[in-house]
Chain A
Amino acid sequence: MSPPDPYLLLDLGLAATILVLALAALRQRDSFTMAVVFILFGLLVALAWVRLDAPDVALAEAAIGAGVTGALLLRTLRHVGGERRDPAPVPRVVAGMLGLSVAGFATLGGLALMATPRHGTGLIPAVAARMDQSGVEHPVTAVLLNFRAYDTLLEVVVVLAAVMAVWAIDRTIDRAAAPLPYLPGVALRGPIAGAYLRLVLPALALIGAYLVWIGAYSPGGAFQGGAVLAAAGVLSALARGGRWPRTAATMPLLRGSLVLGVVVFTGVGIWAAVAGGGVLHYPPAQAKPLILLIEASVALSIAATLTALFLGHMPQPAARIALRKGTTNDT
């Protein structure tokens, strides 16, 4: 018998902790604790991806799954109020059907896992054989932005659609009658916060750009870099009490950065078709610059989109925003 893998204990502990946290998040009575446990859950799931040798997914999970989603949850809680209303009881028939379908999907998932050859190579040889045509050196980026670029394009469309839905709902609210409140409780203000932002915002911009650039060679890419840039957006929004800048001039710029990723991605895809390769089939010689162009614009769009989702409202003309409360006790 071979000696046991020293990491086995760590992995088992990690898996058990993830299950316990998932249960804890579901059984929590208090919504705030629920959100915090969910963020913790996301961070440990990111660790699990690291242990599964999938650092790309780990980065995305930590940045988007735990970070941005956590911020969204806490922001929503601030908005709807913390008190928990007991949900209406679920009819037994509905609960039974839900339970059955969950059990069914779990069984199917288990069967699929058992049917997978234990030491199979999957699509790895197919990807490896075509890496020289992909334009990048990192296989995950090659799959996401070249071989299966269609999937990634649709993902970018989906996040844009989410912002459109949020803004469409926001449009139905009469802001003249109900101005946006200024939320001093969420404001990141004061000398220490100011110094912190001056230090960290440029660092976040640099790290975001670095993650996009490094995606061509190693783990990183548009979604991870975009999420880091979105963190910068969220911090700036918090610095002004959870609102967009008052200048209306940001509107065309903002709308532009929201759609930039979809426009550039689609444009490159159509250009590739005109150039003779078929939709999204970039010519190998130009693949690298095209992929970098797409990644850079998608990262900007992801950053703008996630920030817009965090703020949850359209930018307003200055007149429709409630005046800031006095900051006399701001010591």
Chain B
Amino acid sequence: MIADFLWLGLIAAGLIFFAAGTLGLLRFPDLFCRLHALTKADNLGLALVALGTAGLWATPAAAMKLAVIWALVAVSAATSGHMIARHARRAWRQEDAL
């Protein structure tokens, strides 16, 4: 019972990260700040939600799958964040050169 509350607490904490990331995406002034907010939400938020879900419901096999999904999402989010930032910085430079 107490363990259940622990897992639920993890899910709730993950949701807070997602909410904060969404807020940052909507409210931050420029692309780089927004990316910063978004990638934090993706990595940590999903990790907490997946951990809580695994603790509450998952069989060991399903928990392994959740872990793999989290790892893939985290790596993809980091890479796409990097690609977007790199592309944006280059576009800036080209504008500066003009």
Contacts and interface: CB of A to CB of B under 8 A. Distances in A.
B64 interface: no
A6 interface: no
Interface of chain B: mostly helix, strand, loop or mixed: helix
Contacts of B86: 190
Given A193-B82, A200-B72, 17 more contacts: A185-B87, A188-B83, A190-B83, A190-B86, A192-B79, A192-B83, A193-B79, A193-B83, A196-B75, A196-B76, A196-B79, A199-B75, A200-B75, A200-B76, A203-B72, A329-B90, A329-B93
Contact of B82 (A192, A203, A329): A192
Nearest to B90: A329
Interface residues of A, number: 10
A203 B72 CA distance: 9
Contacts of A192: 79, 82-83
Contacts of A200: 72, 75-76
Nearest to B86: A190
Interface in B45-98: 72, 75-76, 79, 82-83, 86-87, 90, 93
Contacts of A196: 75-76, 79
Interface in A174-197: 185, 188, 190, 192-193, 196
A196 B86 CA distance: 15
Contacts of B90: 329
A199 B76 CA distance: 10
A185 B86 CA distance: 11
Interface string A253-270: 000000000000000000
